[in-house]
Chains A and B, each alone.
Chain A
Amino acid sequence: MGVMFILICVSISLATCFLLAFIWATKSGQFDDCETPAIKVLID
């Protein structure tokens, strides 16, 4: 079952990537406004 160890490591790395992306996104204000993006997307 050694491969489970590898898979868990890879999955955790992947999750860490997403976590870092999430922290970056939150810190840089990506989610400060949760209203206008939904409307802005309708305007080309």
Chain B
Amino acid sequence: MSVETFHYDNKIVRNFAFATVFWGVVGMFFGVLIAFQLPLPGLNFGEHFSFGRLRPIHTNAAIFAFVGNAIFMGIYYSLQRLCKARMFSDKLSKIHFWGWQFIIVAAAVTLLFGYTTSKEYAELEWPIDIAITFIWVVFGINMFGTISVRREKHMYVAIWFYIATFIAVAVLHIFNSLALPVSFMKSYPIYAGVQDALVQWWYGHNAVAFFLTTPYLGLMYYYLPKIADRPVYSYRLSIIHFWSLVFIYIWAGPHHLLYSAVSPWAQTLGVIFSIMLIAPSWGGMLNGLLTLRGAWHTVAKNVELKFMVVAVTSYGMVTLEGPLMSFKSVNSLAHFTDWIVGHVHNGTLGWNGFLTFGIVYWLIPRIYNTKLYSPRLANAHFWIGTLGIVFYLVAMYFSGITQGLMWKELDPDGGLMHENFLSTVKQIIPMYYLRGIGGLLYITGVFLMVYNLFKTVKQGNLQADEEASAPALEQEKTKVKSTHRFLEGHLGLFFILSTLAIIAGGLIELVPGAMNEFISPTKPLVEKYSPLELEGRDIYIREGCNNCHSQMIRPFHNETLRYGAYSEAGDYVYDRPFLWGSKRTGPDLHRIGLRPRNEVWHYDHMVNPQKSSPGSVMPPYPWLATNKLDTSTTSKKIQVMRSLGVPYNYDDVRNAEENLQKEAQELSDILKKGKIDCAPDREMIALIAYLKKLGKRIKVKK
């Protein structure tokens, strides 16, 4: 058996580590900013820095920039060591790194300028979606290439988690992003209304599953034993954990749509699988914690382990809380409230954040061949960060449950106790401040880490190419390599890739034609959008109104009292994308057009919400009254909608602009009667037209 000498690529690990820290600071900064924007609307600095645009920047930066880079950092370090091989291709590593950073920058810029699909965690428009697909494939080739030249026959469980991440994210991303472009930065999804909602939350849930969970479980199974210097509690359990988790996770998505217009059986399917998820999740959590059995005294002295322990504990809390929240009774209270926000942040701040910090503190000194500059400072980071999490979570649980109960509360006569939505908002303002303080504490800890790492890097030397040696795999020594052998030895990979190819191929063939009818709901309860309303809807999307306003009235007495008739699938037939939202920072808007709010009220409210609703936390949108509406793509939009199956005719396409102007003029005249001077070519006119249309139904013949 010949021993081969090779070199690990530590430079790429270093690059991803630095990017992780940098984007972590950026993402958390925006998090703190938008946290304070809620109680202090004055912090909405104009068009590009209002809550509706910054919130997607925060979520995208936290998930794809911070956690994304951390995943790659963790994988590129551990995969090389687990495979006893250098990364497959240095060039691919480089393309992967810089491509990913470019995507992040492109995402930040486009979101600031309001280019968004409105779909949560999938806000980026189609050109960036294509770039993501490309870079993801680069990552995949690099990873599978490394696995194929490994010198260790057994694939450690962490590698399986990495593979599952790659495959699942690829499939999810492709299916959820299917859209027809209108222009360079605008597209409409091929799915409409209820269908779009289902695909989005199938994606949304699995983005949490396969981007925030499976890769991190892989990292846990590698780094926790490494840092503790003891084997995982039960390797057998880790294998059971992996396979049961990947089989169950993909079915839980519909629990995001309980009590919605989605078919009840689909909702129940989501609930059942969510509850089943407790078993593998807790198996994994206990496997992590029990790794430290008999060694808890070392945790007190080892700050990296402290981070790990809190991370794994958070994972356990979140994976119990999640299934409980998917019970319909609990969900009826929790959904649309801050409870959800708390739940998510327990996962991201605790599980993802702390696991990342633990890894970074351990990894940077190693590749720089030195010791951590100050374990005491890291310890301070740990405690400040933990305190930050506690502040955040407690505030959100209080505010979520308080507001949820207030929405539901009825007076003795059967009316709403808190008829004014705003009174339920004012009640939780103190919690918004507390949450912001929690965020401030958390980011303060991160700044301590930045300083600590800076000092560590300065006192060490990067071992860019770390020498290692391992015996070559026997089979590779005796047999000549050939394509056939490669496929034979990697049957699983072969099947995975071919299935992916089949899916992609089938999709390209099916989607434009036959699928159209198939995936579009057929029984409309509403009239299709006029060109002006459609433009208004796109402004609603651009300003991110859906981040705070839902358009989904659940079939509860209190909700129909407050918002009007509950929402049905037929209400959304022409909605591309769907705009149900997932959080009610403000009231539901699905039937706002039927409420006694006239055009003048909407105008005033948009220009200065605090004037028409004292105490409102909504950002002002004065630019809507001055910006000219861009109608250059109006007819193209109608045309794209038409090819997606919306029943517009040729005349609708041809006369789109003319119809738009006619309607805009009428609306402008109405405003003029209310002593408001707003030219018909302003964006405000389109938005008001859209809001006035919301909730209006057509008469359906039975």
Contacts and interface: CB of A to CB of B under 8 A. Distances in A.
Interface size class of B (residues with CB under 8 A): 35 or more
A10 B225 contact: no
B194 A1 contact: yes
B175 A10 contact: yes
A7 B194 CA distance: 13
A33 B236 CA distance: 9
A43 B250 CA distance: 35
Nearest to B497: A17
Contacts of A28: 491
Contacts, number: 103
Interface string B250-267: 110100000000110010
Contacts of B82: 41
B236 A18 contact: no
A33 B167 CA distance: 26
B172 to A, nearest CB: 9
Interface in B219-273: 222, 225-226, 229-232, 235-236, 239, 243, 246-247, 250-251, 253, 262-263, 266
Contacts of A31: 239
Interface string A31-44: 10111011111101
A4 B194 CA distance: 10
B496 interface: yes
Nearest to B202: A7
A38 B492 contact: no
A44 B229 CA distance: 12
Nearest to A34: B236
Nearest to B221: A41
B598 interface: no
Contact of B225 (A5, A25, A42): A42
A42 B491 contact: no
Interface string B81-116: 110000000000000000000000000000000000
A41 B222 contact: yes
Given A20-B492, A24-B492, A31-B239, A11 B519 contact: no
A38 B168 contact: no
A7 B168 contact: no
B164 interface: yes
Contacts of A40: 152, 154
Interface of A: 1-7, 10-11, 13-18, 20-22, 24-25, 28, 30-31, 33-35, 37-42, 44
Interface of B: 81-82, 152, 154-157, 160, 163-164, 167-168, 171, 175, 191, 194-195, 198-199, 202, 222, 225-226, 229-232, 235-236, 239, 243, 246-247, 250-251, 253, 262-263, 266, 468, 491-492, 495-496, 499-500, 502-503, 515, 518-519
26 contacts: A1-B262, A1-B263, A2-B519, A3-B198, A4-B198, A6-B519, A10-B171, A10-B175, A11-B251, A13-B502, A13-B503, A17-B167, A17-B500, A18-B164, A18-B247, A20-B495, A21-B495, A24-B495, A25-B492, A30-B154, A34-B239, A35-B235, A40-B154, A41-B156, A42-B225, A42-B230
